[in-house]
Amino acid sequence: MKNRLYQPFLRDVKVTDGFWKQKMDINQKNTLPIQYKQCLETGRIDALKLKWKEGMQNKPHIFWDSDIGKWIEAAAYSLVNYPDNSIEEKIDYIIELIDKAQMPDGYFNSYFQSCDIEGRWKNLRDNHELYCAGHLIEGAVAYFYATGKVKFLRIVEKFADHIASQFGREEVKRRGYCGHEEIELALIKLFRVTNNKKYLNLAKYFVDERGSLPYYFDIEAKDRGEDPKKFWANSYEYCQAHLPVRQQKKVVGHAVRAMYLYCAMTDLAVETDDKQLLNACKILWNDLVTKKMHVTGGIGQTHANEGFTTDYDLPNESAYLETCASIGLFLWAYRMFNASLDSKYSNIMELALYNGIASGVSIDGKRFLYGNPLAVHPGFNGNGQYCGENFHYQRSDWFSCACCPPNIARLYASLPSYIYSLSKDALFLHIYTDSELMFKLAEKTIQIIQKTKMPWEGRILIQIIPETELYFKFYLRIPDWAGKFSIKINGKKAKILESKEVPGYIKISKQWKKGDNIELSIEMPIIQLEAHPAARQNCGKIAIKRGPFIYCLEEIDNGKNLNDICLLRKSQFTAKKIRDKKIGNFIAIFANSIKRSEKKWKNKLYSKEPSTLEKRKVMAIPYAFWGNRKAGEMITWIRAE
């Protein structure tokens, strides 16, 4: 790739104030310590001591190590902005345990070493060993990056070397790959930090071998004495192993697995300049965002396979939309932007971040959602199943399968590094938020300071402070939700040049000097979104969007029977600043609606008489904040006239 794009180092971008500063502070103050405590209390940390014996409590689980890897990654990234000895000590303690437990040949997995050593590498389809290895590698790369300490990095290199000795096309090796993708993207990270091509080649092997015939999952099942046809998920589509990845045109199966695979495919395409592979990613992207993605950037429509169903199937109450899957989408979108330079990727990155991801954690950072349905009703869980009259689907302190909480923690801790992309002669700004970036171009240091009230108000002030005068191209994203926008450079209205080479970005190319500044003003209209006519669950309904936020209605603001509300689309929708004790400051949207009078319905289920209609104002709040006050009904798609 001629002019490759890079992600800035986390230490070079500081989020200084506003929405994301608050989230990152809470992540550090509440989320990380709570998650460590959970790992301790549930036995995840003790499991690393390999002392578990039959009859004891807290039997290790096959993918507990992935929670440890993700928590270390989150904590390590957080250290970059929030130095904290007690967190560092905790990470070092865990690393000591892993170091002691690692087998002489490099293998490490707390479940298999404690509970089933004979079972290691025998069931790649289900057992997550390479998935766990991947998360440990990501944790080690982050910790090395944050502290410069090499111990954990050396441990995972030894593990990766062991993996390389086991898997590949050579006669003596297993020709396998993991049922849950993750190792691939992790190995590419390991390659980037060590420069050891062995890891890149191994990632390439895992990506390219996937789905080729004869299926490895069939072979290993037969070796275990099992009938491969009895695979519970029926098809290897579940783990994107039904076809070689370059031939895959449809997004299928388990959503998180799919996203991690596509991240690796995109990274590999960039590292090896593989246009065919990148093209496969573009086809998959298109399938996802034009046919299967919920309006919040949530993906994976059903609980049944934690993944994808048919095109235009966009359920609300039963939608699965795992937090991890939206995080995977965010990670893939950033990579796709860097590989293909188009705001169609960064727009989705923003959508997922402010909606499908942000809903995954409570305002206080202490409780988490696994599934993020677009509607909830008392009595029914996040999969739309009846759980008893008094049940309310809400955030939980933790989960037995706890993939989502540390995933959101690692994303928030590393978020500053996703605000920009860099190339050798250009800077790309994706996320508007109070922040400071330091980067180098042509050996010169440049500082970029953003000041803004985004995501609530669309005015962004950007100061450019180069060490000496310097020419470079500055691309600014114009979000897909933007109304009219204007730009001033050094106080003077400037002509807007929408970039041809980077659709959806405006380009400012100039000789930058100290004191230069840009003022970008973007109108934030209230948007009424409709879904495709084939999206049967949402016909006759609209979703409200303002800025990056999708809005929803909650019972606490609008009473019961939210599905009976019908918005008057032509009436004025207004945005108003609100201060709420639990949520804090935010912008609510008020709209006019009609709703049937409930007077005549006492003791009746059906009626021949048409109802009388009552006018009422409704208040919508950002979907990201739902469920932080009183439990009750919630809807995102609202009937509309």
Instruction: List residues near Zn ion by CB under 5 A.
Output: 322, 324, 403-404
**Residue 553 binding: pick among ligand FUB, Zn ion, none (C-beta 5-8 Å cut-off by kind):** none
Closest to ligand FUB by CB, 106 or 328? 328
Count helices and strands in the chain by DSSP H and E runs = 17, 21
**Long-range CB contacts (< 8 A, 24+ apart) of 193-196?**
193/141, 193/144, 193/145, 193/153, 194/153, 194/157, 196/157
**Residue 554 binding: pick among ligand FUB, Zn ion, none (C-beta 5-8 Å cut-off by kind):** none
Helix (H) or strand (E) holding 193: helix 183-194
Closest to ligand FUB by CB, 63 or 216? 63
Closest to Zn ion by CB, 324 or 618? 324
Taking the complex as a whole, how short is the minimal distance between the CB of residue 309 and ligand FUB, in angstroms? 15
Establish if 331 lies at the interface with ligand FUB (CB under 6 A). no
Instruction: Report the residue number whose CB is nearest to ligand FUB.
Output: 256
The b/e string for 309-321 (b: 16+ C-beta within 10 A; e otherwise) is: beebbbbbbbbbb
φ, ψ (nearest 5 deg) of residue 291: -135, -20
Establish if 56 lies at the interface with ligand FUB (CB under 6 A). no
Q: How far is CA 442 from CA 230, 350, 469, in A?
A: 59, 30, 11
Taking the complex as a whole, how short is the minimal distance between the CB of residue 67 and Zn ion, in angstroms? 10
**Pairwise CA distance, residues 97 & 51, whole Å:** 11
Taking the complex as a whole, how short is the minimal distance between the CB of residue 271 and ligand FUB, in angstroms? 24
Tell me, residue by residue from 138 to 177, as one string, x for binding to ligand FUB by CB under 6 A and - for no binding: ----------------------------------------
**Pairwise CA distance, residues 273 & 573, whole Å:** 48
| CA 633 distance to own-chain centroid | 25
**Pairwise CA distance, residues 418 & 582, whole Å:** 28
8 Å CB contact between 262 and 278: no
**Pairwise CA distance, residues 191 & 195, whole Å:** 5
Instruction: Report the residue number whose CB is nearest to Zn ion.
Output: 324
Closest to ligand FUB by CB, 325 or 427? 325
Taking the complex as a whole, how short is the minimal distance between the CB of residue 370 and Zn ion, in angstroms? 6
Closest to ligand FUB by CB, 135 or 451? 135
Closest to ligand FUB by CB, 35 or 338? 35
Residues in contact with ligand FUB, total (CB under 6 A)? 8
Taking the complex as a whole, how short is the minimal distance between the CB of residue 181 and ligand FUB, in angstroms? 9
Q: How far is CA 413 from CA 76, 167, 342, 529, in A?
A: 8, 33, 25, 32
**Residue 587 binding: pick among ligand FUB, Zn ion, none (C-beta 5-8 Å cut-off by kind):** none
- Coil/strand/helix, residue 465: strand
Residue 42's closest CA among 63, 64, 62, 72? 64
Taking the complex as a whole, how short is the minimal distance between the CB of residue 175 and ligand FUB, in angstroms? 23
Q: In 540-600, which ranges are continuous DSSP H helix?
A: 555-558
Taking the complex as a whole, how short is the minimal distance between the CB of residue 185 and ligand FUB, in angstroms? 13
Closest to ligand FUB by CB, 324 or 638? 324
8 Å CB contact between 537 and 639: no
**Residue 61 binding: pick among ligand FUB, Zn ion, none (C-beta 5-8 Å cut-off by kind):** none
Which token pair is 93?
């303690």
Sole binder of ligand FUB in the list 19, 63, 236, 456 (CB under 6 A): 63
Is the C-alpha dihedral spanning 186, 192, 193, 198 positive or negative? positive
Closest to Zn ion by CB, 322 or 434? 322
Taking the complex as a whole, how short is the minimal distance between the CB of residue 66 and Zn ion, in angstroms? 10
**Residue 401 binding: pick among ligand FUB, Zn ion, none (C-beta 5-8 Å cut-off by kind):** ligand FUB
Taking the complex as a whole, how short is the minimal distance between the CB of residue 426 and ligand FUB, in angstroms? 35
Taking the complex as a whole, how short is the minimal distance between the CB of residue 295 and Zn ion, in angstroms? 20
Helix (H) or strand (E) holding 207: helix 197-209
Establish if 324 lies at the interface with ligand FUB (CB under 6 A). yes
Other Cβ atoms less than 10 A from the Cβ of 616: the count is 13
Establish if 304 lies at the interface with ligand FUB (CB under 6 A). no
Establish if 524 lies at the interface with ligand FUB (CB under 6 A). no
Taking the complex as a whole, how short is the minimal distance between the CB of residue 184 and ligand FUB, in angstroms? 14
Establish if 306 lies at the interface with ligand FUB (CB under 6 A). yes
Report 396-415 residues binding ligand FUB (CB under 6 A).
Answer: 401, 403
In eight-state DSSP terms, residue 31 is I
CA angle 575, 578, 580 (to 5 degrees): 150
Cα atoms in the Cβ-side hemisphere of radius 13 Å centred on 81: 31
Tell me, residue by residue from 232 to 261, as one string, x for binding to ligand FUB by CB under 6 A and - for no binding: ------------------------x-----
Establish if 322 lies at the interface with ligand FUB (CB under 6 A). yes
At what angle are helices 64-81 and 129-147 packed, to 10 degrees?
A: 20
Residues that bind ligand FUB (CB under 6 A): 63, 180, 256, 306, 322, 324, 401, 403
